[in-house]
C-alpha cells in the first residue's frame, strides 16, 4: 500500500517559532474573546449599575490574585494585536519569505513585550502617584 502524506502529528512535531506564534494567535484570540469580553461587559455593566457596584468590580479586579490574569490579558491583547497586523500584511501578499516571516515573528514578540511593559509601567506610576498624593 502506498503511503499517503500525513498532516503533522503535534506530539512529534518539533515546535518552531512560526508554528508557536500561529497557535498562540488562536489561543490569545480565544482567551480575549471569552474571558476578556466577559470582563469588558461586567466592567461596563457595573458602571451602569452605580457607584457601589462599580467599586465592587474594581476592588475585585484590583485584588492581588487577579494580577497574573490581568498581566496575561494585557500580554494576550498586545500579542493578538501585533500578530494580527502581521496577518494583515500576509493577506496583502507581503512577507511570505521564510526569513521575513521569522523577522516579523521576532518583531511581534518584541512589540508585545514593549507594549505590555509600557502599559504596566504607566499603570504602576499612576497608582504610585495616587498613593504618594
Partner 1 sequence: MRILNFLGLSILKGALGHWWHQRLTAICIIPLSLWFMASLVSHLRSDHETVVTWISSPFVSILMVFLVCGIFYHAKLGVQVVIEDYVHTRRSKSFLLIALNTGALAGALAGVLSIFSVTFGII
Contacts with partner 1 by CB under 8 A lie at 26, 29-30, 32-34, 37-38, 40-41, 44-45, 47-51, 54-55, 74, 77, 81, 84-85, 87-88, 91, 119, 122-123, 126-127, 130
81 burial via Cβ count (<10 Å: 0-12, 13-18, 19+): middle
Least distance from partner 1 to the Cβ atom of residue 102, Å: 23
CB of 2 to partner 1, least distance (A): 26
3-class DSSP assignment, residue 77: helix
Q: Which is nearer to partner 1, 2 or 126 (CB)?
A: 126
Q: How far is the CB of 29 from partner 1 (least distance, A)?
A: 5
Nearer Cβ to partner 1, position 2 or 91?
91
- CA–CA separation, 46 vs 41, rounded Å? 8
Nearer to partner 1, 42 or 109 (CB): 42
Helix (H, G, I), strand (E, B) or coil at 64: helix
Whose Cβ is closer to partner 1: residue 29's or residue 95's?
Answer: 29
Closest contact distance (angstroms) between CB of 58 and partner 1 is 9
| Residue 104 CA: distances (Å) to CA of 30, 75, 79 | 22, 18, 12
Q: Using only C-alpha atoms, what is the Rg of the chain?
A: 20
Grid cell locating 15: 515546535
Amino acid at each position: 500500500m502506498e503511503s499517503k502524506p500525513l498532516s503533522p502529528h503535534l506530539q512529534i512535531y518539533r515546535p518552531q517559532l512560526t508554528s508557536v506564534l500561529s497557535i498562540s494567535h488562536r489561543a490569545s484570540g480565544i482567551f480575549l474573546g471569552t474571558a476578556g469580553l466577559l470582563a469588558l461587559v461586567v466592567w461596563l455593566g457595573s458602571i451602569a449599575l452605580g457607584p457601589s457596584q462599580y467599586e465592587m468590580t474594581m476592588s475585585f479586579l484590583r485584588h492581588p490574585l487577579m494580577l497574573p490574569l490581568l498581566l496575561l490579558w494585557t500580554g494576550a491583547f498586545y500579542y493578538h494585536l501585533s500578530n494580527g497586523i502581521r496577518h494583515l500584511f500576509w493577506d496583502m501578499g507581503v512577507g511570505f519569505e521564510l526569513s521575513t516571516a521569522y523577522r516579523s515573528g521576532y518583531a511581534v514578540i518584541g512589540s508585545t513585550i514593549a507594549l505590555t511593559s509600557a502599559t504596566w509601567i504607566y499603570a504602576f506610576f499612576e497608582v504610585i502617584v495616587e498613593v504618594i498624593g
